[in-house]
Chains A and B, each alone.
Chain A
Amino acid sequence: MNPPPFLATIIERIYRWAIWLYPIRFQQAYCHAMRQTLRDALADTAMPLTVLVPMLFLDLVQSLAKENLSMLRETFARPMLVFNAAVLAILSTGISLAIYAIPQQVLRQGANDPQIELAGNAAYRLERGASPGTVVPQTDPDSRIDMFESLSPFLIVYDEHGNVLSASAELGGKPPAPPAGVLDYTRAHRENRITWQPRSGVYIAAVIRHVAGAQPGFVLAGRNMREVDAREIQISEMAGLLWLAMLAVIAAGSFLFGWLTRTPGTSPA
């Protein structure tokens, strides 16, 4: 049985709107033919609406996805376009990594500058017989620097076994000692520059010098890296944003280039 004319008109009108969802080339080529096929189906008494309408709906879902994906693939998955985009993405990733890594290294190395001088001077004086108490300022426990709070450089002198002899800073009420392995390395190499974490959340840019002579030991000059860390985070955020922006520009540029240089398909009938 044929559907009433008004119902057939509504179905055809909805279908005509749905055809707009196909890629333009496909619409131009097959819009009229598809509508005519629908009219033929609606006029066919052997094709009940209960079969036709679900079939049309399912067909729209499947073929819309297929034709639009096909259009995207043909337009944007051309090897040269993908290759160019990949090369640009790799370049932008390299640039972003350099923008992050170079200042990060400069900041980190710069964070050692006062400590290098402090540790060198203290070791020089200790090797010439100065006592640890005279080499290290502010040894009084009341005036010691809090390593967690303060950004000021500090000095700690250890004996050959890692026991604190004199300190201008403390953490949790007493001067901490670096791991034995760090002192062993310093003994073998005379100087050691490390990022020391004496407690969770506390990062110290430390320079350790081995003191030779009659009273051997170690001098540790350190400084809380809180500000350096904050700047490194800022740099990483800026580099990350720059990377995302460059990827977005590459994606937009590739999309535009792909669209402008797309190959025309079958000409509309």
Chain B
Amino acid sequence: MNASSPLTPSVFALLLSLASGEKHGYAMMKDVLAPEGGGIVMGPGTLYGTLDRLMRDGLVVESHFSDDQRRRYYRLTETGRSILGAELQRLDSAVSAARQRGLLPAGGRS
């Protein structure tokens, strides 16, 4: 995974969720389910499968912080943050282009 390739919706939603701080599984599930988080229905299997691949790619690490023995927390790495930033730039450019072409209202919420 590199900064030039677009992220899948699930990966983008998870990175976006972790951008605001370390979180445990269910907190991420709720984040990505919310419309502003991507509106993605993601169960535990998909969530931990995606996290597993993100950890292998070095975008996310387990933070080892726990408020409960069985609840595990994850956070973004610097690489993860920069890839999320690149994706947001790419999406921002796309939204700007759409706005210029009249596909979105000018100054509206993207």
Residues of chain A whose beta carbon lies under 8 Å from any beta carbon of chain B: 22, 26, 29-30, 32-38, 40-41, 44, 47, 55-56, 58-60, 62-64, 66-67, 70, 265-266, 269
Check if B25 is an interface residue, CB within 8 A of chain A. yes
When the two chains form the complex, which single residue of B25, B43, B56, B62 contacts A63, counting CB atoms closer than 8 Å?
B43
Q: Assess the A58–B43 pair: CB atoms within 8 A.
A: yes
When the two chains form the complex, which single residue of B25, B44, B68 contacts A59, counting CB atoms closer than 8 Å?
B44
Residues of B within 8 A of A64 (CB): 45
A40, B27: Cα distance in complex, Å: 9
Chain B residues within 8 Å of chain A by Cβ, number: 22
Chain B residue at minimal CB-CB distance from A21: B45
Per-residue interface assignment for chain B, residues 62 to 77, with 1 indicating a CB less than 8 Å from any chain A CB and 0 otherwise: 1000001011100000
Q: Assess the B29–A37 pair: CB atoms within 8 A.
A: yes
Residues of B within 8 A of A62 (CB): 45-46
Chain A residue at minimal CB-CB distance from B27: A40
Count, A-B residue pairs, CB within 8 A: 77
Residues of A within 8 A of B47 (CB): 37
Q: Assess the B52–A37 pair: CB atoms within 8 A.
A: no
Q: Assess the A55–B25 pair: CB atoms within 8 A.
A: no
A62, B52: Cα distance in complex, Å: 16
Quick one: which of B24-58 are within 8 Å of A by CB? Answer: 24-26, 29-30, 41-49, 52, 55-56
A38, B47: Cα distance in complex, Å: 12
When the two chains form the complex, which single residue of A29, A44, A55 contacts B52, counting CB atoms closer than 8 Å?
A29
Q: Assess the B70–A32 pair: CB atoms within 8 A.
A: yes
Q: Assess the A22–B45 pair: CB atoms within 8 A.
A: yes
When the two chains form the complex, which single residue of B25, B45, B49 contacts A36, counting CB atoms closer than 8 Å?
B25
A269, B5: Cα distance in complex, Å: 30
Q: Assess the A66–B49 pair: CB atoms within 8 A.
A: yes
Q: Assess the B25–A40 pair: CB atoms within 8 A.
A: yes
A38, B70: Cα distance in complex, Å: 12
A38, B46: Cα distance in complex, Å: 13
A59, B55: Cα distance in complex, Å: 20
Q: Assess the B45–A34 pair: CB atoms within 8 A.
A: yes
6 shortest interchain CB distances as A-B pairs: A59-B43, A63-B45, A40-B26, A37-B25, A34-B44, A30-B48
Residues of A within 8 A of B43 (CB): 55-56, 58-60, 63
Chain B residue at minimal CB-CB distance from A43: B26
